[in-house]
Structure 1
Amino acid sequence: MDGFQAYGAGKTGGAFDPLTFIRQPQTVVRILCWLFSIVVLGCVANEGYLNRPDEVEEFCIFNRNQNACSYAVAMGTLCFLCSTGFLALDIYFPQISGVKDRKKAVMADIAVSAFWSLLWFVGFCFLANQWQVSKEEDNPLQEGVTAARAAIVFSFFSVFTWALQCLLAIHRFKLGADSVTFNQDYIDPTQQEAPQEALPTEEWMDGA
């Protein structure tokens, strides 16, 4: 069963090849999701909060809405951790021997990717709306403007990267459904032994 494949990976026991792993489409997209989450998190956490001389507390650059900044920071942090976890799972995936366990991992990838794509869409709409209605007098020096716009842009990009990751996971799921079988070259040993076992009977009948 040298051609055995289950959900996009071969039999367990093979050596890990970093170059092959990096070149996989799902790995490339996963790394992009990871990087985009870092950009959004870094932009909002570092430059998303402003303060004025006449105010004690800092306020969010997105229309003074603390929920907008909190949402972006939470999204960036959780998405970073989630992407890291699934990257580790992708590395370990070929070592999963159970077909059912592989199926569960791919189904989890589909569900999580679709969920994150939806959350990033909501986040993009939320940040873009709050940025549009922000008042110029709240930020006369235009501090953090570039970072705020970058957070919005990469939130938009994250919608498509996670959606693409979901489609790749669906493709792996369809491959798994078709490939968890014996290949055409495989011959059942019992079928090879059956004619040999019948030979003594035929010789006995000829002798009779």
Structure 2
Amino acid sequence: MDGFQAYGARKAGGDFNPLTFFRQPQTVVRIVCWLFSIVILACVANEGYVNRPEEVEEFCIFNRNQSACNYAIAMGTMCFLCCIAFLVLDVYFPQITGVKDRKKAVMADIAVSTLWALVWFVGFCLLANQWQASKEEDNPLNEGADAARATVIFSIFSVFTWGGLTLLSLERLKRVSFEEEYNKLFGPPLV
């Protein structure tokens, strides 16, 4: 019964193998999501604000819409923290002993991944719209233009990576262990 799995993980216990962990598709995609959040956060925080000599305060490069920059920074920060939290959960997932607890973890992963895909889609729409509506006279030297484009591009990439995580989590949910099915048919082992 050593080969039985529940929701994509072996029976609880055993040693942590980093090589196996980092080869899992879910881990790879989650790290990519984490990197995308860093890129978005860095682009907006570093070059998302421009000031003109005649103005005292800086303004957001996305059509002077402070909400667009605030949204990108807030979502980048929260996504960064969420990725770290779920990476930690992925590390400890094989140590979870109860099948019901594993199912709750997988269901939480599905819900959070779906939510983030939607949040990044809204962010992409907002940022792309505001970037398109930006006036050239607001930023004649095109300061931060590359960072703004990168923010928009990585926002749409984030939609697809979080959507991929949702699909991977749904696939994980579908993987019901042979042991569970066996126990339903023949009862628990007598050992």
Normalising by structure 2, report the TM-score: 0.94
2:146 corresponds in structure 1 to 146
Structure 1 CA distance for aligned equivalents of residues 101 and 178 of structure 2: 16
Residue 7 of structure 2 aligns with which residue?
A: 7
**1:176 corresponding residue in structure 2:** 176
Work out the CA distance in 2 between the residues paired with 1:17 and 1:29: 18
Residues in 1 aligned to 2:188 and 2:147: alpha-carbon distance in whole angstroms: 62
Q: Offset at 1:11? A: 1.0
SS across alignment from 1:181: helix
The SS at the match of 2:181 is: coil
Q: Give the AA of the match of 1:83.
A: C
Return the alpha-carbon distance in structure 1 between the equivalents of residues 189 and 179 of structure 2.
Answer: 18
CA deviation profile, 1:116-157 (whole Å, cap 9, x unmatched): 000000000100000001000000111000000000000000
Aligned: 1:91 with 2:85: no
Against the structure 1 CA distance between its residues 189 and 104, is the aligned structure 2 distance closer, same or farther, given a 3 Å change threshold? closer
CA distance in 2, matches of 1:29, 1:35: 10
CA RMSD, aligned part only? 1.9
Q: How many pairs does the alignment contain?
A: 189
Distance of 2:43 and 2:79 partners within structure 1: 15
Q: Does 1:19 align with 2:13?
A: no
Which residue number in structure 2 is paired with residue 118 of structure 1? Answer: 118
Contiguous gaps of at least 5 residues in structure 2: none
User: Compared with structure 1, are the counterparts of its residues 9 and 188 closer, same or farther at alpha carbon in structure 2 (3 Å cutoff)?
Assistant: closer
Pairs within 5 Å for 1:1-208: 1-176=1-176, 180-182=180-182, 188-189=189-190
User: Residues 5 and 178 of structure 2 are in contact (CA less than 8 Å); yes or no, is this contact kept in structure 1?
Assistant: no
CA distance in 1, matches of 2:102, 2:109: 11
4+ aligned runs moved over 6 Å, structure 1: none
**Aligned partner letter, 1:81:** L
Contact 2:40/2:155 (<8 A) preserved? yes
Larger gyration radius, structure 1 or structure 2: 1
Amino acid in structure 1 at the alignment position of 2:92 = Y
Name the aligned partner's letter for residue 143 of structure 1: E
C-alpha distance in structure 1 between counterparts of 2:128 and 2:179, whole Å: 44
Structure 1: runs of 5+ lacking an equivalent: 191-208
Using a 3 Å threshold, how does the CA distance of structure 1 residues 113 and 5 change in structure 2: closer, same or farther?
same
